């Protein structure tokens, strides 16, 4: 991490006195207290972090991890090559000054394996920003030890990661004798950049963040630089996701650890490793392109989403899991097409399997959000410019008047704001009843402009009325304007999605009768707040079981022999039908379960 504060650091360099203590602790394995990378214009080398909030690792738990004598970590890339951070070394060329320690948790354990370096290769073009990787070649291999394979795609960029190292266990603390481990959650690039300071300049294609954003307490720290951030894959094999790089302080809330994104450099690392000893075989042998997060709308055909694969033996067979309903993937081309039928968000994993024997495979994972259909009258746009002055609040209204019922749980707000420092801004959606929904809360630091679509659960809000986009500028020196915004409430009832059957149907004793409504003009699924308005004439409603039957035969009991000797049912029932396709024949089924009383289905109305 950068030296923006006394405790900020790249996770390599320690103060000379602390390093000296660490060297003495492990028996002085050729450490060089001042061995640090050229810091570049913005970042200062610092033999890095230890695992904060960790516990002691078990002997043999991470056989591929190594300790480097300049106060960094690393991992076995091949039997002769160590992968570490670029800021841990001082350039490319012959180097016999680094001692590698492997095979032990306790650095004083006499069973430790040591090797001496003979060559260092720093990432070509490294200047202190991004590209924070390097290879160290040992004069003799370490054989018979599992290697740590590199990620070649972003499919494991989720959940939590394993942090490992001998670095400090607290900010400003000394490096450790025993190997520590901890887990830290993935943090998106957008959230990481919102931490401000050096984080605003995160190199999003080359760096990945992890840590407990809210509470802090878990992180790498000084002395962990160059060590691996890992995760097990579907085959339960450890895969290296990142290389400990930098951060501000150690384990501070809102200041996560930043790691070199290994998958981005896997090919470069392989190419360069081949020049000094050999490349590691990729984990799967197949690399699949990742198209990134996808967004579509119920009832609207998607623009085909393509994928390509490299490695292995073509042709490839394609498959996918997690696809939204209505979409499919071509097994021969890897192209996803179709028309979504159900709103929601899912994780799609696309896999390519090659033609070799045994077959190799690779995959890519990304999110896919399907928004509810746009309902006529339930959306609107305000394209009038509204000036945002310093320390001022401005509202931009949209009036909705033809949208029956409540808004939807997947309502969207598309916002375009021109402003030179979006970290000043609080952006909220104001419902007609005054309820506030925060969309953006002073994130983004010095970044310019907001161009984003937010999904908001507005199912508790009546759709009709005047909605406002409220923007509050909370600081001096930067101004802007609301350029345009669009509100899609995703609620209401599309034309053709309601029907009534007013034909009388007699209900004899001890019999079951049906009354039907056929719907053909709808799209997608019914809503979670569908209604069935029922009017039945009967002299003893305690005899009756009233059931709504969906087109696929699913049943929803509305009334089950309640009410005793009371006469007639005149009631509107709210039913969650969100799993049911709207179009088809719906049935109101009435069973008379006792003798002596009869009646009639008078009329009923279904609104989906």
Candidate list 12, 35, 87, 440, residue with the active-site label: 87
Candidate list 225, 284, 379, 459, residue with the active-site label: 225
Cα–Cα distances (Å) from 87 to 2, 90, 227, 265, 356, in that order, read 11, 7, 12, 16, 40
| Residues 6 or more apart in contact with residue 282 via CB below 8 angstroms | 149, 150, 152, 266, 270, 311
- Count CB atoms within 10 A of the CB of residue 201: 15
Measured in degrees and rounded to the nearest 5, phi and psi for residue 87 equal -75, -5
Backbone CA torsion sign across 198, 204, 209, 212: positive
Q: Is 157 a catalytic residue?
A: no
Candidate list 46, 69, 117, 132, residue with the active-site label: 132
Closest CA to 458 of 581, 375, 394: 375
CA–CA separation, 534 and 551 (whole Å): 18
CA–CA separation, 494 and 465 (whole Å): 18
Transcribe 282-331 into DSSP letters: PSSS-EE-----EEEETTSPPPPB---EESSSSS-EEEEESPPTTEEE-T
CA–CA separation, 492 and 252 (whole Å): 46
| Residues 6 or more apart in contact with residue 514 via CB below 8 angstroms | 505, 549, 587, 588, 589, 590
CA 187 distance to own-chain centroid: 8
Longest dimension (CA), the chain: 102
CA–CA separation, 212 and 387 (whole Å): 37
CA–CA separation, 243 and 153 (whole Å): 15
CB 37 within 8 A of CB 71: no
Closest CA to 343 of 578, 575, 554: 578
Q: 3-state SS string over 276-287?
A: CCCCCCCCCCCE
Rounded to 5 degrees, what angle do the CA atoms 60, 66, 68 make? 150
Q: Quick one: tokens of 155? A: 């499919």
CB 201 within 8 A of CB 248: no
82 bridge partner residues: 76, 136
CB 10 within 8 A of CB 48: yes
Burial class (CB in 10 A: 0-12, 13-18, 19+), 410: buried
C-alpha R_g of the chain: 31
Q: Is 225 a catalytic residue?
A: yes
CA–CA separation, 564 and 577 (whole Å): 28
Closest CA to 360 of 316, 307, 308: 316
CB 65 within 8 A of CB 179: yes
In a 13 Å sphere around the CA of 285, the CA atoms on its Cβ side amount to: 13
CB 515 within 8 A of CB 548: no
Q: Is 46 a catalytic residue?
A: no
Report, as residue numbers or ranges, the catalytic residues.
87, 132, 225
């Amino acid at each position: 991490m950068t030296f923006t504060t006394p405790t900020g650091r790249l996770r390599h360099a320690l103060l000379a006195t602390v390093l000296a203590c660490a060297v003495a602790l492990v028996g002085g394995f050729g450490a060089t207290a001042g061995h640090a990378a050229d810091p570049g214009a913005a970042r200062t080398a610092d033999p890095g972090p230890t695992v904060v909030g960790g516990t002691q690792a078990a002997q043999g738990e991470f056989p591929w991890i190594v300790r480097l004598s300049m106060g960094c970590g690393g991992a076995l890339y091949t039997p002769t090559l160590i992968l570490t951070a670029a800021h841990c070394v001082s350039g490319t060329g012959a180097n016999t000054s680094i001692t590698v320690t492997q095979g032990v948790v306790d650095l004083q354990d006499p069973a430790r394996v040591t090797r001496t370096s003979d060559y260092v290769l720093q990432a070509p073009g490294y200047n202190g920003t991004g590209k924070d990787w390097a290879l160290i070649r040992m004069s003799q291999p370490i054989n018979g030890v599992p290697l740590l394979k590199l990620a070649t795609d972003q499919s494991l960029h989720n959940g939590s990661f394993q942090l490992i190292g001998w670095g400090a266990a607290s900010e400003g603390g000394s490096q450790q004798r025993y190997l520590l481990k901890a887990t830290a959650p993935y943090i998106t690039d957008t959230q990481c950049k919102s931490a401000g300071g050096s984080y605003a300049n995160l190199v999003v294609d080359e760096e990945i963040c992890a840590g407990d954003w809210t509470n802090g307490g878990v992180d790498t720290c000084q002395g962990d630089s160059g060590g691996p951030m890992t995760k097990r894959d579907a085959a339960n094999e450890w895969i290296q996701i990142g290389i400990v790089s930098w951060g501000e302080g150690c384990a501070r809330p809102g200041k996560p650890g930043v790691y070199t994104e290994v998958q981005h450099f896997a090919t470069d690392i392989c190419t360069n490793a081949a020049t000094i000893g050999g490349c590691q075989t990729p984990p799967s042998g197949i690399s699949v392109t990742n198209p990134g997060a996808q967004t579509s709308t119920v009832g609207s055909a998607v623009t085909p989403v393509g994928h390509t694969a490299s490695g292995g033996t073509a042709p490839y067979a394609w498959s996918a899991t997690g696809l939204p309903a209505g979409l499919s993937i071509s097994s021969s081309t890897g192209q996803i097409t179709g028309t979504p039928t159900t709103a929601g968000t899912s994780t799609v994993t696309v896999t390519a399997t090659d033609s070799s024997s045994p077959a190799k495979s690779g995959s890519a994972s990304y999110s896919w959000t399907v928004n509810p259909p746009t309902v006529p009258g339930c959306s609107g746009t305000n394209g009038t410019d509204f000036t945002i002055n310093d320390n001022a609040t401005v509202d931009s209204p949209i009036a909705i008047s033809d949208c029956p019922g409540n808004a939807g749980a997947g309502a969207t707000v598309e916002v375009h704001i021109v402003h030179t420092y979006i970290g000043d801004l609080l952006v909220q959606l104001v419902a007609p009843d005054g309820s506030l929904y925060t969309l953006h809360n002073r994130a983004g630091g010095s970044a310019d402009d907001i161009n984003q679509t937010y999904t908001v659960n507005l199912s508790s809000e009546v759709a009709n009325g005047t909605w406002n986009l409220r923007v509050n500028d909370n600081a001096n020196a930067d101004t802007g304007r609301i350029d345009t915004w669009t509100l899609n409430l995703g609620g209401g009832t599309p034309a053709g999605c309601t029907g009534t059957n007013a034909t009388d149907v007699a209900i004899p004793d001890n019999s079951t009768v049906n009354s039907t409504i056929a719907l053909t003009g709808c799209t997608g699924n019914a809503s979670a707040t569908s209604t069935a308005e029922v009017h039945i004439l009967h002299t003893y409603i305690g005899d009756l079981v009233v059931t709504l039957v969906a087109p696929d035969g699913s049943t929803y009991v509305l009334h089950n022999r309640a009410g005793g000797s009371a006469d007639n049912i005149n009631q509107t029932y709210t039913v969650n039908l969100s799993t049911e396709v709207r179009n088809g024949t719906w049935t109101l089924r009435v069973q008379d379960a006792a003798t002596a009383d009869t009646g009639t289905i008078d009329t009923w109305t279904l609104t989906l």
